[in-house]
Structure 1
């Protein structure tokens, strides 16, 4: 090969290399991250990611509907494919590649229809959110777009995404406490537990937006987070979403979600010793619990059950916290039930019915004790 031909071939190879390396970089740099927050909490998408289509943000339908509290349904008849969400008397129906959506049967024209993108069903975020009673705000920068979906009650609040790992500060732990709907919890008690020195916790209380901040001393130690919050006189323990120790010099973000829609207590059932000696067995005792105050989110329905063994003892360990009236029957299978007398164990007289409520055994664990006897 001559020198001239070699030089020309080398130039072609170099040009091809530059095209192969620079074009993908240019395409990559043009991509922009889309961050979506629901009531301040960043949403994570497992597979398909949010995309911009003709100026509208499209997101995976199941993730959006379930985040907003909908039950989801996918209809595919071959010629018709629909994403449907229902909750509390509201139904939103989106048909793939059809600009006409329906809200409770009423047709509404869309700028961009629901569509399939790389085998994922994508729906317009703003349309679904705003027709579900939420407010949507959009901010844009050169590197990322941020979309806030907020409850109607938070419409006047300034958008405030929860802290993320980019906000970590040395010798500071901070975060947010919210309920399962993403609403901020004010007045929750949060503590940083020093793993080196016994009984040297640092404490903070969340503000009106659910945020807390604890400045840590300059100690070579690790910390672990915990907390609690009182709901209707019951103290509920808080566990951080990332329940791991961290070094003070690195700092950390530790967010909490208060699981307090329904909190359960342990009801222990005992049978009077004299009746036990006579052969009466507690597993044949049927209890009826009538709610007087189901303050921790119970259904308010009457509970009628036989006692059973659970890890802590015998009785029931799935009773929503609250105040109840209890009656009892001795009802072996196949025999005529007999009314029994009941009492709050070691605290009162026997009667046809008594009232009881749960009390803390240790923080976060509640119990009550009932004793029964034959008349």
Structure 2
């Protein structure tokens, strides 16, 4: 009886093995050059527009992945960053549904390879995340499927799925179309600006109803993949909100003023203001000059990084005179 129980346990663990068993003996080839992200761009936002995607439809070049054949009953692939460097420690999680739901996952090895022996059923992805050095901390970042597709599939068919760590770009395009102001739909970082409007002209710290806000983000050193682009965002006041989305991940000097030159004060706000010792607005304000680093979703681990999402939440900043 005890032998049978031990045998059953061994078979269960063997069926859900996370150790890559079928990795081909091949290396990574020559990688494409990174697309330079530099210079300066000015973005004009109308009074009735509450958000702006600062990178538009720009997307990074994909790495050249080692070739793999589909292996029936298995999900396997490689994980790399934008430079084509294989990533060790990336988490890929799937669920199989056939009456009940079973899960399985894998963690990529030093060559970026992962492999999952699939439970029987209809397979969907629930997680794709990687923890990367960012400033003085480590940020959990979502991964982009190299074929831009996380549609489910039948376990018996198997699948090859490669993933990329990106510093900007669109996530799942159908989600972008449905929720264009959602920060997790972009692999770049996000900042939301809020402010009160002085409709009657008698509250001096509020912003004038017919004014224009000018926010400047200047790189404070290269981004996580060498990005060095300055963004100037000019927002006509009308809606008391503005979210800047898809900002290449890095550290920026930030300043805000009105079109007439009046310097605006900035204050980090929101539920998680001050929750991150290394990220966010520093100093947290009120201040006229500061640096900013983006904030991942609070306390998320790689196992919680939703597939085909970025895992960046908006950093909230209040503007005042």
Q: TM-score, normalised by structure 1?
A: 0.48
Q: Is the 8 A contact 1:266 1:318 kept in 2?
A: yes
1:209 aligns with 2:111: yes
- Residues 1:308 and 1:323: Cα distance change in structure 2 (over 3 Å): farther
- Residues 1:266 and 1:191: Cα distance change in structure 2 (over 3 Å): same
Q: Which has the higher contact order (CA 8 A, sep 6+)?
A: 2
2:28 alignment partner in structure 1: 39
2:319 alignment partner in structure 1: 372
Q: Per residue, is there more helix in 1 or in 2? A: 1
Q: Is the 8 A contact 1:236 1:260 kept in 2?
A: no
Q: Per residue, is there more strand in 1 or in 2? A: 1
1:120 alignment partner in structure 2: none
Q: Which runs of 5+ in 2 are unaligned?
A: 1-25, 36-62, 170-186, 202-206, 274-283, 299-304
> Matched residues in 2 for 1:368 and 1:361: separation?
10
- Shift of the alpha carbon at 1:184? 1.9
1:345 aligns with 2:292: no
- Shift of the alpha carbon at 1:366? 3.1
Q: Which runs of 5+ in 1 are unaligned?
A: 1-36, 42-66, 72-149, 152-159
1:188-337 aligned within 5 A: 188-196=90-98, 200-217=102-119, 219=120, 221-225=121-125, 226-232=127-133, 233-240=138-145, 241=147, 243-260=150-167, 263-272=187-196, 275=198, 278=201, 280-281=208-209, 284-292=212-220, 294-297=222-225, 299-307=227-235, 314-331=242-259, 336-337=260-261
Q: Is the 8 A contact 1:308 1:314 kept in 2?
A: no
> Matched residues in 1 for 2:131 and 2:210: separation?
34
- Shift of the alpha carbon at 1:190? 1.0
1:79-158 aligned within 5 A: none
Q: Is the 8 A contact 2:144 2:166 kept in 1?
A: no
> Matched residues in 2 for 1:229 and 1:351: separation?
33
Q: Is the 8 A contact 2:193 2:316 kept in 1?
A: yes
- Shift of the alpha carbon at 1:239? 4.0
- Shift of the alpha carbon at 1:212? 0.9
Q: 1:163 aligns with which of 46, 68, 78?
A: 68
- Residues 1:298 and 1:330: Cα distance change in structure 2 (over 3 Å): farther
- Residues 1:164 and 1:182: Cα distance change in structure 2 (over 3 Å): farther
Q: Is the 8 A contact 2:268 2:318 kept in 1?
A: yes
Q: Is the 8 A contact 2:253 2:291 kept in 1?
A: yes
- Shift of the alpha carbon at 1:368? 1.2
